[in-house]
A and B are shown apart, each in its own frame.
Chain A
């Protein structure tokens, strides 16, 4: 369906946060528009991608969904490098997952690109009755740490697309304002096929077939 589109940019995204906060479900909801109620826990890192339209530009998000358990941290961390954006996820019904945010944040800022744009997602918004973290508290935390913030529900789909789109929009804005340079190494951003073919990475010429795909 989207085959006719060529993306203008490609952004590398991360989804991080404690185990069981719904990272994979957010990603699944975003890509498939469905709640995955039989999902398995993520081992290491899994992948997904989707092209979205942000203010007339087609942006391909390449999303790396990480395992939440501490033991996998040494492996998942190696994927942080060069991420342009991240969803930092906690579960509004679990204070413990909220308390862990500082650690996740430190990791992301240290290991991903310096200018990484992070959106804080308080997931499981549909379980309001079991809430342990208030909206106000989390939004204050977000402000203090220069994060965007949304409460989301992978179950109902509320704010899921918005989270990805807002994060992408902010990155685009930063590119347009010159704050972010897509050509800098490790920016987590690349030009897509549709934009500025002359800027295409030289590696591209080694793979001529990729251009011949029917679209």
Chain B
């Protein structure tokens, strides 16, 4: 069934408009002249060879056929293979980023509230809190200006990056003002969401390049299959599902201290304070209790896997998105005691159900011996060997196993490597893909890996091999030690560049 779905997906691409476009991603990471060159070669080849005799399942085919998805509704076409793109260097990029951030902080005056949203929440419920704006933008520029390549200490330290705000939320928070195109897109979402029967195919198509913040909560509920397409049934469904969840709590939560559930609960209990430890939101007792309940109920209802470390991370994007329905500013510093009991209960139940839907698609990641992960890591290896032989051979030569770095990428869906706000953006796309969290994630991992190809190829001491390194030992030598800093420090728009996902 999995294979079947993906085949359909490949085939469906024929419907997508446009010609072959350069795309950032596994095949064409940004700022890599070598690959850009390859791309041009590739493109002329494609023009020569008729498309119909291609095997539909090759990665190149996939990349090509989906590349124009980035351009849906795109007015200004950018030619990434042009010389100006090639000469764009990281200094310029950083300077520009700093400039943007500066302007951004200057322009932090809020524009008038966004008009009535299609979400289920009356606008009057919104609580505004913006105490730490200043700190937020300071952090942003810090993380942005930090040289992502400099050698770090051998144990990865996660720098403080504003994890929830802001790039994707600029529209809601002031600068830059919404462009006509953004307004049109938001309008399109509103139309879709409020029509009697939401066209889910159309909604997926619109969501792939990113969901506007204002409509993200309801869009996610729909995309995950939690909310029905029919508008009339939504309210009742929500009510029923929320009651059902709290029914579980009533029935099962007390059993957490019983013998047979003790281990599960204890593990969850020690992991919760370690979930996103740098975001104040997740250190609040009320929030931690919510997480414990969600995870415990999920775990005992899924005994084949039970609770596995990493699943706790998967709750956070849902929690933050559903919380954002009530909070306009700075979610990561928001004090949830400002919310009513009802609001908190809705957030909790909706997070539970949406997380359950997600996990349904990747449960074999967490069952005994974690076969889903093993399979995906193998597939990643196979994929990289085809799309970037040089990197692949480099790993082989230095005896780096894919499992050593990619295990966590699969187990935590790259959430340890990307700031939370980027994960949320990425999940817009995952949820609009069939099997986004399993199949499509693999391609994102490949893109992510190849984004660091230069650093990888420059690296010889991977800490896995036996040779003593030449003078790098104390500054942290290998990919495996060192992958974390550059990855953690990816500047604000990195995931966007990684995927060529253009924010609305």
Contacts and interface: CB of A to CB of B under 8 A. Distances in A.
Interface SS of chain B:
loop
Contacts, number: 129
B155 interface: yes
A207 B155 contact: no
A50 B154 CA distance: 8
B270 interface: yes
Given A31-B153, A71-B366, A74-B368, A49 B277 contact: no
Contacts of A36: 155
A48 B466 contact: no
A206 B397 contact: yes
Interface stretch (B59-67, B219-227, B345-353, B401-409): B401-409
B277 A38 contact: yes
Contacts of A211: 470
Interface string B247-281: 00000000000000000001100110011011000
Given A45-B407, A47-B480, A49-B481, A215 B468 contact: no
A192 B472 CA distance: 14
A69 B308 contact: yes
Interface string B461-504: 10111111111111001101100000000000000000000000
A215 B416 contact: no
Given A2-B473, A74-B369, A69 B309 contact: yes
Contacts of B306: 71
B458 to A, nearest CB: 10
Interface stretch (A3-11, A109-117, A128-136): A3-11
Given A28-B155, A69-B309, A43 B407 contact: yes
Interface SS of chain A:
mixed
Interface centre among A40, A190, A206, A215 (most CB of B within 10 A): A40
Contact of B470 (A72, A190, A214): A214
28 contacts: A2-B473, A10-B466, A31-B153, A36-B155, A40-B158, A40-B275, A45-B404, A47-B480, A47-B481, A48-B155, A49-B473, A50-B154, A51-B474, A67-B309, A69-B267, A74-B368, A75-B403, A193-B470, A203-B465, A204-B467, A206-B397, A207-B460, A209-B460, A210-B460, A210-B461, A212-B470, A213-B469, A214-B471
Given A1-B474, A10-B466, 14 more contacts: A3-B471, A7-B473, A31-B153, A40-B416, A43-B310, A43-B411, A43-B412, A44-B407, A49-B154, A67-B309, A69-B267, A74-B370, A78-B403, A200-B467
Interface of A: 1-3, 6-7, 10, 19-20, 27-28, 31-32, 36, 38-41, 43-51, 60, 62, 67, 69, 71-72, 74-75, 78, 96, 190, 192-194, 200-201, 203-204, 206-207, 209-215
